[in-house]
Amino acid sequence: MKDLTTGNEGKLILKFAIPMLLGNVFQQLYNVVDSIVVGKFVGKDALAAVGTSGPVIFLLISFMIGITMGFTIVISQYFGAKEMDKVKKAINTMYIFLFFISLLMSVAGILLSGAIFKLINLDPSIIPQAQLFLNIFFAGLVFLFGYNGTSAILRGLGDSKTPLYFLMGSVAMNIGLDLIFVPVLHWGIAGVAWATVISEALVFIVQILYLNKFHKVVKFSLKDLKFDYPIFVKSIRIGLPTGFQQTFVAVGMVALYWVVNRFGIDANAAYSVAGRIDNFAAMPAMSFAIALSTFVGQNMGANKPERVKTGLRATFFMTSMVTLTISAIILFFARGLMRLFTDDAVVIELGRGYLVVIGIFYILFSTMFVLNGVLRGAGDTVIPMFISLFSLWIVRIPVAIWLSNIPSIGVHGIWWSIPIGWFSGLVVYYFYYRSGRWKKKGVVKYDSEGKKI
């Protein structure tokens, strides 16, 4: 556990963000290794199936992800206020919620996967492989929720190193199983799915055993689990808008695949592969934003809002430096990065076009995410929900449809719609942050004299 309410703001955020950044690198290795193994050993149809499954998975679990963020914010603010009894109650309530919601989502995912693939106009020849991959993934959803939920709890307590160690073990196991199940045992796309499920299940079990023995606060015991309704309501109040926001984003991602699928399997495969690379490029901004959210949560809980502004400036500087470096790498090596996943010339060129367009504007994305991190950490999640709705559904998707229907632009219009959406969201985030209304959204309340209410 790490107290982020004292000490140099920039150094604290950097030290907290680095393990998360490394963790996100390893997390993305899940997806990258899956894509490389499938692309090299199974084929581009299977590659498109795995790529399309990603947004559908996110669609079906996105609401839960948002609610979990609400719990994490509550935990971080209680920890900042040194109310450890409420921290433990929030952790237990979150575990109970995750267990039951994972069962519900597993059933929903298995029942709805085929219908969703048809709805987004996925090529019928790909649907059986995509559905097989998705059904196996959802069969092990309880382990995914348990593992990621525990990691989120630890980060809310200021511990970003322990989740990294478990993630490294999970990724190493997943890579090993991928290389056994697909090239050796020839299980195809099912082998990739089973590798993910098995690695997450084993690491979650090890994670619980380790924390029960060594951690002071995070303990997992069925007999001690108790549901705290008031804390649940507070978490839902914060998490519900985030859940809706994540759902809007997820549906938007699926909608973009519907637009991309009009241009055929090559465009789908290119978009899927380039999206994997894009996810890597976005990781620094996302990691720093999450670190900033925890920092803001603890300091708002400790009634130290002056540290939030300093932390924001430091985070913006750090993310800008990293983002500009990544943009340069993407622009110079776009074609070579695509070749890591596929040898298909058409897919490579389409993906290169995507990366060049997106790579120029990563600074917009990183700045937007950093401002988002401040609002979330403060417990203000309603406005970010509406901003996401605006930038994605009012701007990005209509622009993608409009530009892609212009013959001289075609599929590249979809690529250009993404930075246009980022810019629109960033403008709204900036003016809302300057309004200062987010400062009044904390879980722990103080009066004008600085005393807890």
What's the pLDDT tens digit per position in 388-428? 889 989 999 999 999 999 988 999 999 999 999 999 999 99
300 with 77: CB under 8 angstroms?
yes
- Rounding to the nearest 10 degrees, give the CA dihedral for residues 242, 134, 21, 268: -100
445 lies in some domain: no
Comparing 93-107, 174-188, 436-450, the range with the smallest average pLDDT is 436-450
**Domain around 54:** 9-440
Question: If DSSP codes are grouped into helix, strand and coil, which group holds residue 100?
Answer: helix
Whether residue 44 is contained in a domain is answered as yes
The stretch 59-70 carries a mean pLDDT of 76
Query: For 239-253, what is the mean pLDDT?
Result: 79
CA–CA distance, 65 with 369 (Å, rounded to integer): 17
Q: Write b or e for each residue in 357-374: b if 16 or more Cβ atoms lie within 10 A of its Cβ, otherwise e.
A: bbbebbbbbbbbbbbbbb
The rounded distance, in Å, linking the Cα atoms of 183 and 63 is 35
CA distance 373 to 346: 38
8 Å CB contact between 174 and 35: no
pLDDT classification of 447: cutoffs 50, 70, 90: low
Q: Tell me the per-residue pLDDT of 282-341, one tens digit each, with 9 for 90 and over.
A: 888 888 988 898 888 888 877 887 888 899 999 999 999 999 999 999 999 999 988 888
Reading the block at residue 299, the tokens are 């300091």
Predicted pLDDT at 450: 60
Contact yes or no for 81/299 (Cβ under 8 A)? no
Q: How far apart are CA 426 and CA 370, in angstroms?
A: 10
d(CA 76, CA 16): 14
- Output the pTM of the full model: 0.70
> Whole-angstrom Cα distance, residue 339 to residue 326?
18
Two structure tokens written together for 237: 């109040």
The span from the CA of 162 to the CA of 169, in Å, is 11
Model confidence at 342: pLDDT above 60: yes
Number of domains in the chain: 1
Percent of the chain with pLDDT over 90: 21
Query: What pLDDT digit, counting tens, does each position of 369-382 carry?
Result: 999 989 988 888 78
* Domain assignment of residue 451, yes or no: no
Q: Which of 5, 30, 16 is nearest to 280 (CA)?
A: 30
Winning range, highest mean pLDDT, from 182-191, 222-231, 346-355: 346-355
DSSP-derived 3-state class of residue 446: strand
**Distances in Å between the alpha carbon of 403 and those of 162, 272, 364, 398, 407?**
45, 20, 21, 9, 9
Mean pLDDT confidence for 164-188: 86
Kindly state whether residue 2 falls inside one of the protein's structural domains: no
Would residue 45 count as lying in a domain? yes
pLDDT, residue 421, reads: 94
pLDDT at 449 over 70: no
Q: Which of 190-199, 203-212, 441-450 has the lowest mean pLDDT?
A: 441-450
Residue from 319, 244, 330, 321 nearest 285 by CA: 319
More confident call, 30 vs 356: 356
**CB neighbours (10 Å) of residue 94?**
28
* Residue 431: inside a domain: yes
Domain membership of residue 79 (yes or no) is yes
235 located within any domain: yes
Q: With contact defined as beta carbons under 8 Å apart, do 137 and 98 qualify?
A: no
Note the pLDDT of residue 144: 85
